Amino acid sequence: MSIQDRVIEIIAEQAVLEPSDVTPDSTLEDLGIDSLGLVECIFAIEEEFDISVPFNANEPTKSDFDISNVKSIVNGIKELMVEKT
Amino acid sequence: MKRVVITGAGTINALGHSVAETMQAMKDGHCGIGPLDFRDVDRLSIKIGGQVIGFETEGLFNRQQMALYDRFTQFTLMAAKEAIDQAGIVFSGELAARSGVVLGTAGGGVSTWDDNYRSVYEDGKNRVHPFVVPKLMNNAAASHVSMEYNLKGPSFTVSTACASSNHAMAQAFTMVQSGMAPAMVTGGSESMLCFGGVKAWEGLRVMSKDACRPFSLGRNGMVQGEGAGIFVFEEFEHAKKRGAEILCEVIGYAMSSDASDIVMPSKQGAERAIAGALRNAKLNSDEVGYINAHGTGTAANDKTECAAVAGVFGPHADRLMISSTKSMHGHLIGGTGAVELLACIMAVRDGVIAPTIGYEEPDPECALDVVPNEARDADVSVALSNAFAFGGLNAVLAIRRI
């Protein structure tokens, strides 16, 4: 499974949606994921990809990790995975 | 001063998943204590407890709720639903704004601490689920009850070890009695039956390896239980106006502190709590027909408690009945007073006195009528519920038939 499919699966589960309802352009807000849900998503992503996501719930927009939509999250994960290797 | 009545009761514990099942088990003298079943139990020297069995969360709570509910919160919500359904009370408007929830727990989310310590220490993981803190905090259960039932008045959690529930219910009582709140949801919950929880208790060497036999010669300690007991305390006129079924009246309480030792019980501290409850409820001592004892089954507690009862009641101590239902459901620590109040309600409302089971031989230091082994029919109009906690913090409640 591609990174994007794995991320969509995580986000869909959090939003209680089918993966087919989540597209690369979906924002977490569109999907009805609130701040607690976002923190759970980040946790699930860290577990899935064995990375550490620089995200502070106090300043979600100031983090280096761009969470504006699914695509930006996937790109952020790719960068972190490159940094790790 | 307002009169305070109980209009709803709910429980889940080793004897049953409802009040009806629990009271039936008490009438039958059924023992809910058995072999513990959880991870690493083989590494414990204490392998028995009053575990809640057959409790399936599937279908009760959704995935999001499960991520937030420790077992002690799950128990609380189950019992709260039963109590509030029975009371038939809907919290909205002014009633919601002034009614709250005060609960007791000693440990809060013990298994959440345990699971996550295991994960970071034993499994070497460096990350925990984001909800660990809101899941384990001692007030989680009270907060979830407030959210579920729209309770917006005074709400908090009391933690006084084995007296937590009684302290919580005493608080709720004063709030309704004073007119501060028209109704309060109150009681307590505990869930320490996991490896770390039982291991901690083993350290004190007060636990029995075979059975809880309160007041019986040769008793060898306490046995832990788990579960919750939740009640709706309501102002009498408010309940009457709604046509609510009234289970009993709460007539008084007292709290005291031994100010002496962190674990050893004190006769004087217990006496002051019992005598204080009689004064607060304006009772003559000979009106009390039944006492639900703290009765832990330890050598120290049971003889101290009997001496305190004898000291307060004088000759009437030989006429009243006193039993410890911990012999059946185990010691629910912070939730114990709440489950034990059910035995008091059964006494004054149904005229059935729950027994002290596992009783083998009289102990001259516990020479009271402890209702050994078999429930008894009796006409009792007033009952007390004792709780004497580690730390020397005591709380005694008084209820009356209505």
DSSP result, B67-94: HH--HHHHHHHHHHHHHHHHHT----HH
> Contact, B81 vs B167, CB < 8 A?
no
Residues of B in Cβ contact (< 8 Å) with A42: 130
Looking at the structure of chain B, the number of domains it has is: 2
Q: Does the annotation count B162 as an active-site position?
A: yes
B103: left (phi over 0), alpha (psi -120 to 50) or beta: beta
pTM of the model: 0.95
Same domain as B301, residue B394: yes
Same domain as B284, residue B211: no
Same domain as B38, residue B181: yes
| A15 close contact with B: CB closer than 8 A | no
Domain range spanning residue B347? 251-400
**How big is chain B by its Cα radius of gyration, in Å?**
20
Same domain as B343, residue B317: yes
Q: Does the annotation count B167 as an active-site position?
A: no
Residues of A in Cβ contact (< 8 Å) with B129: 40, 43
Q: What is the CATH number of the domain that holds B330?
A: 3.40.47.10
Q: How far is B118 from chain A (nearest CA, A)?
A: 17
Among residues B218, B242, B266, which one ends one of the domains? B242
Token duo for residue B33: 């204590």
Among residues B190, B212, B242, which one ends one of the domains? B242
Same domain as B299, residue B225: no
pLDDT, tens digit only, all 402 positions of chain B: 999 999 999 999 999 999 999 999 999 999 999 999 999 999 999 999 999 999 999 999 998 899 999 999 999 999 999 999 999 999 999 999 999 999 999 999 999 999 999 999 999 999 999 999 999 999 999 999 999 999 999 999 999 999 999 999 999 999 999 999 999 999 999 999 999 999 999 999 999 999 999 999 999 999 999 999 999 999 999 999 999 999 999 999 999 999 999 999 999 999 999 999 999 999 999 999 999 999 999 999 999 999 999 999 999 999 999 999 999 999 999 999 999 999 999 999 999 999 999 999 999 999 999 999 999 999 999 999 999 999 999 999 999 999
Same domain as B158, residue B274: no
Structural domain boundaries of chain A?
3-84
> Contact, B225 vs B192, CB < 8 A?
no
Same domain as B238, residue B169: yes
ipTM above 0.95, yes or no: no
Distance from C-alpha of B218 to C-alpha of B213, rounded to nearest angstrom = 8
- Buried residues in B212-244 as b, exposed as e (16+ CB within 10 A): bbbbbeebbbbbbbbbbbbbbbbbbebbeeeeb
Same domain as B358, residue B331: yes
B362 exposure class (CB count in 10 Å sphere: 0-12, 13-18, 19+)? middle
pLDDT score of B76: 98
Distance from C-alpha of B155 to C-alpha of B184, rounded to nearest angstrom = 9
Q: How far is A37 from chain B (nearest CA, A)?
A: 9
Among residues B209, B242, B275, which one ends one of the domains? B242
pLDDT averaged per 10 residues in sequence order, chain A, 85 residues: 96 94 95 92 95 87 87 96 88
Residues of A in Cβ contact (< 8 Å) with B127: 43, 46-47, 52
Of A16, A43, A52, the CB nearest to B129: A43
pLDDT score of B295: 98
Residue with tokens 């513990």: B36
Q: How many CB pairs under 8 A join A and B?
A: 15
For CA atoms B237, B239, B244, B246, the dihedral sign is negative
Same domain as B236, residue B156: yes
| A64 close contact with B: CB closer than 8 A | no
Interchain CB distance below 8 Å, B127 and A42: no
CATH superfamily for domain A3-84 = ACP-like (1.10.1200.10)
| B61 close contact with A: CB closer than 8 A | no
Q: Which chain A residues in 40-59 lie under 8 Å from chain B, judged by CB atoms?
A: 40, 42-43, 46-47, 52
Please name the residue of chain A whose CA is at the shortest distance from the CA of residue B62: A16
| A84 close contact with B: CB closer than 8 A | no
| A39 close contact with B: CB closer than 8 A | yes
| A34 close contact with B: CB closer than 8 A | no
Same domain as B123, residue B58: yes
Same domain as B255, residue B190: no
Nearest alpha-carbon partner for B127 in A66, A42, A78:
A42
Beta strands in B330-402 (DSSP E): 352-353, 376-377, 382-388, 393-400
